[in-house]
Structure 1
Amino acid sequence: MARIVQRPLEGERLGYQIVLPEGYQEERGRRWPLILFLHGINRRGEDLSLLDHYGLLGVSASNDSFNYIVLAPQCPKSSNWVIESDAVIALIDHVTRDFRVCTNQVYLTGFSMGGNGVWHLAAHYQQHFAAAAPLAGWYRIEEVDRLKDMPLWAFHGQEDDVVPVQNTQNLADALASIGGNIKLTCYDNQNHDIMNKVYSNSALYEWFKQYERRS
């Protein structure tokens, strides 16, 4: 069975949940790829139970063949992932020291506010990540040049009434126009919450595996 670890907020470090895959305890000589998962706005705070079975955490914990470590920090109540970006990077560094992570296979995904965080981290801290998948997110079009060399697969619901799909479409179009490595999937008849549809699709994890972080 997958093992779920919770670590509450400690000093300046974000609290988090981490899912360790089936076989992590037994295969002590093995290092595992890691997916950083950033939650949406309604899961902020200091109560880690808000993340229980949420999004990628639930998908990975219930799938014994899921071969990634999943790290999900919790954003403080009055903050967002752009503000907390330095703390997120510090947490990744901490976790890669404490757990057996393959450091050239660290991937990035997130939903809504977390999708915005994915775009920002991919633009400003891309040396830490091999590829990124933002869901139902948004970002500043004027920073698109920063994303040209990052492999990206973006997802959005066509009927999203919280974050308009045009946000993601505009970013994808701008990246394509400068030769960026961008895939875009827009789901017909889907509104804002597309997490289960995306994270239940094994094609995303096969796509991640194509990429390794550049030195």
Structure 2
Amino acid sequence: MKKIVLSIFLFFSFTFLNAQDFKKYDYGSFIKRSDSIYYRILFPENFNPTQKYPIVFVLHGRGESGKDNEKQLTHGAALFLRDDVRQNFPAIVIFPQCPIESYWANVNITTNSKGKRNFSFVEGGRPTKAMHALQGMVKDFLKKPFVDKERVYVGGLSMGGMGTYELLRRQRKTFASAFAICGGDNTNNIKKYQTVPLWIFHGGKDDIVDPAFSIAIAERLKTVSDEVKFTLYPNDNHNSWDSAFAEPGLLPWLFGHRR
């Protein structure tokens, strides 16, 4: 009984600590004409606006969509708050939030009678409203004097992994490297981001987004790209982001690239 009580206490203590730490992510918004997007931003410790810092954009999954400017921190945000990460990789970290009525990527989604979702990724096409606003926000940040334009990164999970591919092809000369977790894309789009170093992750038992999407992208990239990494977690379901964000080599690899 004592162990159960202790476990519950530690769980709520950890949850409270994380909630408190997330306050270090400032609230922000980008609004320009018909574009609007809300985000949370973490500045490096002892931030000096006269210096230049790398910047990373992290795109959340469908379950974190909304207007609360909170839920997008559910996955991945704790990683960038770790003391060792903040010390070794001082960077500006941004978690934008996609409105529930939009989607990061240009993909057609249908659901069968059993509730299984099917994804049909568009080749080319116009950006979604959320992607158009995201592009405007990224370009706006690149105008800031404290952003190092040679060290701009993006990554995401699930819908955000799909959005990562989409953003890479729409702003192909912007990013130094990227990561995509349990996402997908039309393989005909690969030629538009084949020069960007990319680390792809997926769970082998994913029953939401078929790992075949990531496998196809990785295999196609290996024939044309200078640098692509692919990690398949054979026992992971859709939450392969837990394993990916726990990879000790992810951030050294990501921040180790420059344009």
TM-score of the pair, normalised by structure 1: 0.88
Indicate conservation of the 8 Å contact 2:72/2:96, yes or no.
no
Distance in 1, matches of 2:145 and 2:225, equals 36
Q: C-alpha deviations, 1:71-99, integer Å up to 9, x for none?
A: 11111111111313221121112234457
After the TM superposition, which residues 98-177 of structure 1 pair with which residues of structure 2 at under 5 Å, given as runs? 98=144, 100-177=146-223
Give the letter aligned to residue 19 of structure 1.
L
Structure 2 gap segments, 5+ residues each: 1-20, 106-127
Residue 63 of structure 2, aligned match among 17, 42, 66: 42
Indicate conservation of the 8 Å contact 1:8/1:46, yes or no.
no
Deviation, structure 1 residue 176: 1.2
Distance in 2, matches of 1:189 and 1:81, equals 27
Indicate conservation of the 8 Å contact 1:147/1:180, yes or no.
no
Distance in 2, matches of 1:128 and 1:76, equals 24
Deviation, structure 1 residue 202: 3.4
Q: C-alpha deviations, 1:39-96, integer Å up to 9, x for none?
A: 00011121112234x2222211243424221111111111111313221121112234
Tell me which stretches of 4 or more aligned residues in structure 1 moved more than 3 Å.
Answer: 8-11, 96-99
Give the letter aligned to residue 42 of structure 1.
G
Residue 90 of structure 2, aligned match among 57, 67, 71: 67
1:21 and 2:41 correspond: no
Distance in 2, matches of 1:104 and 1:164, equals 33
Distance in 2, matches of 1:56 and 1:155, equals 14
Indicate conservation of the 8 Å contact 1:108/1:132, yes or no.
yes
1:77 and 2:105 correspond: no
Report which of the two structures shows the higher radius of gyration computed on alpha carbons. Answer: 2
1:6 and 2:52 correspond: no
Indicate conservation of the 8 Å contact 1:37/1:70, yes or no.
yes
Q: How many residues align?
A: 210
Indicate conservation of the 8 Å contact 2:50/2:145, yes or no.
no
Secondary structure at the aligned position of 2:173 is classed as: helix
2:252 alignment partner in structure 1: 206
The CA RMSD over aligned residues, in Å, is 2.1
Distance in 1, matches of 2:27 and 2:256, equals 30
Distance in 2, matches of 1:164 and 1:93, equals 32
Distance in 2, matches of 1:60 and 1:200, equals 11
When structure 1 is superposed on structure 2, of 8-17 and 125-134 the one drifting more is: 8-17
When structure 1 is superposed on structure 2, of 2-11 and 72-81 the one drifting more is: 2-11
1:193 alignment partner in structure 2: 239
Percent identity reads 26
Structure 1 gap segments, 5+ residues each: none
